[in-house]
């Protein structure tokens, strides 16, 4: 992912980059410009905002992509490095590397996180698994709304159900 590279020799501490950053990853005082890596979302607006070209474009690895094969089944998986806050860029890279096959199954995290949204984006259909609990009902309502907004039809499986579960 993108990370800003600060050139303190070019920076005049105007604060335009910090003003542009919606996530508070840059703090500009009259004495220094400070970068908080844990708050950065890699949007790159700081580079565009700096009129003195004091911010360059660096790169940082947030994970790895692993591939494998067993019999006729191939798989790809993204492994996010511990401590990374967002796996969405890694999921986008994994999805971009999926070969064009007749059947592709994407397993993704539960809920409607950014990572889950990236995993289902562009899918032909989805299979949603829920547990028959109040939290499960609430979560599946959010997932159904997300899939509807993305125009992805879905089916529902109730995990650990007893056949008499009321949704």
pTM of the shown model: 0.72
pLDDT in tens, 106-156: 888 888 888 889 989 989 999 999 988 888 889 999 999 999 999 999 999
Tell me the C-alpha distance between 85 and 164, whole Å. 39
Q: Is the pLDDT of residue 167 over 70?
A: no
Q: Is the pLDDT of residue 165 over 70?
A: no
Return the number of other C-beta atoms located less than 10 Å from residue 87's C-beta: 23
Enter the tokens of residue 160: 């650990």
Tell me the C-alpha distance between 64 and 81, whole Å. 8
Tell me the C-alpha distance between 90 and 86, whole Å. 8
> Could you tell me the pLDDT band of residue 101, with boundaries at 50, 70 and 90?
confident
**Max CA-CA distance within the chain?**
69
């Amino acid at each position: 992912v993108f990370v800003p590279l600060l050139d303190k020799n070019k920076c005049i501490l105007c604060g335009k980059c910090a003003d542009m950053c919606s996530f508070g990853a840059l703090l500009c005082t009259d004495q220094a410009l400070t970068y908080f890596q844990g708050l950065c979302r890699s949007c790159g607006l700081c580079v565009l905002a700096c009129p003195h070209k004091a911010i360059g474009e660096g790169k940082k690895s947030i994970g790895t992509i692993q591939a494998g094969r067993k019999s006729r089944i191939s798989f790809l998986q993204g492994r996010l490095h511990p401590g990374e806050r967002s796996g969405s860029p890694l999921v986008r890279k994994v999805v971009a590397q999926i070969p064009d096959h007749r059947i592709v199954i994407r397993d993704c995290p539960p809920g409607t996180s950014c990572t889950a949204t990236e995993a289902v984006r562009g899918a032909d259909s989805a299979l949603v698994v829920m547990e028959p609990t109040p939290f499960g009902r609430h979560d599946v309502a959010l997932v159904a709304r997300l899939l509807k907004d993305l125009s992805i039809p879905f089916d529902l499986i109730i995990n650990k159900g007893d056949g008499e579960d009321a949704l």
